[in-house]
């Protein structure tokens, strides 16, 4: 039963792929801030800010590359 997860691919649309990116970015932000902060009381706010920054940065880079593709195509 568990092997079916690895043998059959899931059909994901664009918005579903974007939604799968958000928890990945959040986990990266939490781990990074956990290793950098001296006072862990600031961890929730700092990781939330970094999560939003990473997510928006990836969206801006994706939009820029898409516009570059449209111009060059």
What pLDDT is attached to residue 3? 81
Task: Give yes or no for a contact between 10 and 47, defined as CB atoms under 8 angstroms apart.
Answer: no
- In this predicted structure, the answer to whether residue 23 has a pLDDT above a threshold of 80 is yes
Residues 21-36 have a mean pLDDT of 96
* pLDDT (tens digit per residue) in 40-51: 999 999 999 999
Q: How far apart are CA 29 and CA 50, in angstroms?
A: 6
Only one residue has tokens 């918005």, namely 15
Q: How confident is the model at residue 10 (pLDDT cuts 50, 70, 90)?
A: confident
């Amino acid at each position: 039963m568990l092997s079916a997860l690895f043998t059959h691919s899931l059909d994901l649309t664009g918005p579903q792929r974007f939604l799968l990116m958000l928890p990945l970015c959040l986990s990266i932000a939490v781990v990074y801030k956990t290793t950098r902060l001296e006072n862990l009381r600031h961890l929730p706010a700092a990781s939330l800010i970094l999560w939003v920054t990473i997510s928006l940065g990836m969206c801006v880079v994706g939009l820029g590359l898409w516009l570059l593709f449209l111009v060059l195509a």
